[in-house]
């Protein structure tokens, strides 16, 4: 296992290159979500390719009062997980290897997208994240870089940086891995007590409620398209005393309106309930956004969106999201 481990840029540059190189960047404390990224990297690089995993707790992306000091560091376990998942090398540099002159004076700036949602809550976080990703891309020189969709805003910003700054790398997003109860896998889950974990399940439940509301509304909309005279039908049914059928017809006729608000409302209902749990969920944001720039969707939005949530349970801050498709036949 120690044969996998590299600590310096010099060791990394001496690593013989075979086929396509895929990199998976992590801050360590690897779990099944990371293992899925590594296995996917192995598949995409192919049997002749090479998979490099980076393990680096980046101080630039932790703000004042955040959990840099207590962030779990489990390198021996990380090496085992990386090897079993198919990694060829693990690059785990020390801070002074990545930032040899101390905090860098020149950094990547995330721009307007980096100031929204996570960026508004954690000023400077995305600048620090993009700076270290840029450095690690230069150091590892991969053909492919794989990132989890759980950090959707991070993934969107990395894609934007790679496009805007002409990095010669393909960025691959890998779907979120969840535990059996729906909780998105995260290194921070280990901080949760049993009671806190129970409350934290509201994040994924809220997202699924929003997804289910969209599916139900989309089914009604399909019926509305097949029955364009549903308003008239509803009025006729009401006159005949068919109140339940009339209500259904009205629902069908209104199905195309306000879909984004309906999705938000369904998710927010679950989160509001969790705010009354003990311990409570303290909501930071619930947002339905365009994944291109992370601005809120309007009521006439069509295409892919991201329903994203962030909240604290106890002292642990958690994020989650799911992709949704808005359109005539969602």
One digit per residue, pLDDT tens: the chain, 330 residues? 568 999 999 999 999 988 999 999 999 999 999 999 999 999 999 999 999 999 999 999 988 777 788 788 899 999 999 999 999 999 999 999 999 999 999 999 999 999 999 999 999 999 999 999 999 999 999 999 999 999 999 999 999 999 999 999 999 999 999 999 999 999 889 999 999 999 999 999 999 999 999 999 888 777 766 665 555 655 654 555 555 444 454 444 444 557 899 999 999 999 999 999 999 999 999 999 999 999 999 988 999 999 999 999 999 999 999 999 998 554
Q: Which member of 7, 13, 31, 34 is catalytic? A: 34
Please give the pLDDT value at position 63.
80
Burial of 25 (0-12, 13-18, 19+ CB in 10 A): buried
Task: Give which of 148, 204, 234, 209 is closest to 320, Cα–Cα.
Answer: 204
DSSP string of 32-78? HHHHHHHHHHHHHH-TTSEEEEEE---GGG--TTSSTTTS---HHHH
31 is catalytic: no
| CA 60/CA 81 separation, integer angstroms | 26
Strand, helix or coil at 158?
A: helix
| CA 114/CA 94 separation, integer angstroms | 27
Please give the pLDDT value at position 237.
45
Please give the pLDDT value at position 249.
47
Task: Give which of 265, 26, 253, 22 is closest to 145, Cα–Cα.
Answer: 22
Strands (E), 107-188: 144-148, 170-174
Q: Which residues contact 207 (CB under 8 A, 6 or more apart)?
A: 267, 307, 309, 320, 321, 322
Q: Which residues contact 16 (CB under 8 A, 6 or more apart)?
A: none
Radius of gyration of the chain (CA): 23
DSSP conformational letter for 112: G
Please give the pLDDT value at position 222.
73
For residue 48 the two structure tokens come to 């002749």
Task: Give which of 193, 191, 200, 201 is closest to 29, Cα–Cα.
Answer: 191
| CA 308/CA 295 separation, integer angstroms | 12
Are 38 and 82 spatial neighbours (Cβ–Cβ below 8 Å)?
A: yes
Scanning the structure block, which residue is given the tokens 């109860």?
Answer: 181
182: left (phi over 0), alpha (psi -120 to 50) or beta: left
| CA 330/CA 263 separation, integer angstroms | 13
């Amino acid at each position: 296992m120690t044969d996998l481990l590299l600590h310096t840029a010099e060791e990394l540059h001496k690593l013989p290159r075979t086929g396509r190189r895929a990199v998976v960047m992590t801050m360590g404390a690897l779990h099944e979500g990371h293992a899925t990224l590594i296995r996917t990297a192995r598949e995409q690089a192919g049997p002749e390719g090479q998979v490099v995993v980076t393990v680096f707790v980046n101080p630039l992306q932790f703000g004042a009062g955040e959990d840099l000091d207590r962030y779990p560091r489990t390198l021996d376990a990380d090496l085992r997980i990386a090897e079993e998942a198919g990694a060829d090398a693990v690059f785990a540099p020390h801070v002074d290897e990545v930032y040899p002159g101390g905090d860098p004076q020149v950094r990547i700036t995330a721009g307007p997208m980096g100031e929204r949602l996570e960026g508004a809550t954690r000023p400077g976080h995305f600048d620090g994240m993009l700076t270290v990703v840029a450095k690690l891309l230069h150091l590892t020189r991969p053909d492919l870089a794989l990132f989890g969709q759980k950090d959707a805003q991070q993934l969107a910003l990395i894609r934007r940086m790679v496009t805007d700054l002409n990095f010669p790398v393909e960025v691959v997003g890998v779907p979120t891995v969840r535990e059996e109860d729906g909780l998105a896998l995260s290194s921070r889950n280990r901080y949760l007590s049993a009671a806190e974990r129970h409350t934290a399940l509201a994040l994924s439940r809220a997202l699924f409620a929003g997804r289910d509301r969209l599916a139900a509304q989309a089914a009604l909309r399909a019926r509305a398209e097949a029955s364009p005279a549903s308003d008239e039908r509803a009025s006729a049914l009401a006159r005949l005393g068919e109140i339940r059928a009339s209500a259904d017809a009205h629902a069908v006729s209104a199905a195309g309106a306000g879909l984004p608000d309906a999705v938000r409302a369904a998710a927010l209902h679950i989160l509001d309930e969790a705010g009354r749990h003990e311990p409570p969920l303290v909501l930071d944001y619930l947002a339905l956004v365009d994944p291109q720039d992370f601005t809120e969707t309007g009521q006439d939005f069509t295409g892919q969106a991201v329903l994203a949530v962030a909240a604290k349970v106890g002292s642990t801050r958690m994020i989650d999201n799911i992709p949704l498709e808005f359109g005539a036949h969602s």
